Amino acid sequence: MAEILSQSQIDELLNNLNSGDIDIKEIEVQEKKVKEYDFRSPKKITKETIKLLNGIYENYCRFLSSHLTSILRLSCDISIEQVEESIFHEYNNALNDYALMSMINVEYPDQTLSDNQIFMEVSMPLSFVIIDRLLGGSGQEYEYIRDFTDIELTILSNLFKQIIPQMGTSWESTSDIKTVYSKIETNPRFIQSVNYTDTVVILVLNVTLNHSVGKITICIPSNILDEIFKKISLKNSKKKDQNYDNQKEAIMHSIKASKLNVTGILGKAQASLGDVLNMQIGDVIILDKGISQNVDIDVDGEKWFEGKWGTKKNKGVIKISKIIH
């Protein structure tokens, strides 16, 4: 409920307005902040997933920083600028006609490949600095925008082959996936492994290489994330089932060590109390079973087996011939 002014507060406010101590333009009306939401393209990626990806690729940034520093002999610093959800056609349209994109296959623990691919795009100025340094130059920026030569693409392809497998290793705390280099694409308009309307997650990495600044963008289709999380939940479910089986086996093992009374019943007969009191040595009790019939074997008062009565080493034995329980 909004705050209600008392009469004295209203009088004081009117007096201040009349005297000029308060300008009416300075009085702001507080309005509720409304967050815009586009229902035509609803958000599919949760905040928890964004946070998870941020943590995974922070580890990857540390690897890239150390790896580029070692092979280029230049100080390199890489950090995550932003992680956001987008539509693939928006991401694709924002790229230049000349772009260096590495296509990355994702291999799951069951050795199946995803139908979609991850894309890593390296800005052209940064690419030419890397090429210049790998060829023995000082690592100066290249001012002209042009397509890459075959030799330059081969050099960059070898670099991608070194840094892409580590991307899968960065996922090891979450899932045992592998990231495998596929090929380089210099025209993003030719990419067909992802539908233009698919939801993707874009990670923008800031790269500071010596005195040059560039960007690396990583595009992950939501289908890949869905597949990873499904396999994680399936793995956890199997792990729970395995734990349940282990617990069940341990319980059964302890139960099997319990002592039970096993009783062989040759037969039964009914007699009056008077007959029982008058029984003498040598009396014969007629049972309800014939001599050729099976003997009942009770376990703690419950019938489990039937068998044949006999002797072995001067001891009475029962050979089990039928399992009841």
Residue 28: per-residue pLDDT? 54
CB–CB of 103/113 below 8 Å? no
In this prediction, residue 1 carries a pLDDT of 42
Sheet with 262-265: strands ordered across: 262-265, 295-299, 302-312, 315-323
182, 103 Cβ separation under 8 angstroms? yes
Encoded amino acid at 281, one letter:
I
Determine the pLDDT at residue 26. 56
Token readout for 270 is: 């009914």
**Which tokens is 106 given?**
């994702």
Neighbours of 165 (CB within 10 A): 14
Block mean pLDDT (10 aa), the chain, length 325 = 65 73 56 62 80 93 93 91 90 85 90 89 90 86 81 93 92 88 87 85 91 90 88 74 77 82 85 87 85 84 86 85 81
pLDDT at 161: 94
SS3 state of residue 237: helix
CB pairs under 8 A, 24+ apart, for 222-225? 222/44, 222/45, 222/198, 223/114, 223/115, 223/116, 223/198, 224/106, 224/114, 224/116, 224/118, 225/45, 225/49, 225/201
What pLDDT sits at residue 216? 94
Q: Are strands 302-312 and 178-185 parallel, antiparallel or unpaired?
A: unpaired
pLDDT at 4: 66
Per-residue pLDDT of 5-46, as tens digits, reads 677 777 777 777 777 666 555 555 555 566 665 666 667 788
User: How big is the CA angle at 258 (ends 253 and 262), to the nearest 5 degrees?
Assistant: 125
Q: What distance in Å separates the CA atoms of residue 267 and residue 250, rounded to the nearest whole number?
A: 38
Say how many Å lie between the first and final Cα of the chain, rounded. Answer: 71
Q: Which three-class secondary structure string do you get for 78-95?
A: EEEEEEEEEEHHHHHHHC
Percent of the chain with pLDDT over 70: 90
Domains and CATH numbers, the chain: 47-233 (3.40.1550.10), 262-272+284-323 (no CATH)
What pLDDT does 33 receive? 64
Residue 80 confidence (pLDDT): 94
HEC assignment per residue over 21-71 = CCCHHHCCCCCCCCCCCCCCCCCCCCHHHHHHHHHHHHHHHHHHHHHHHHH
pLDDT score for 5: 66
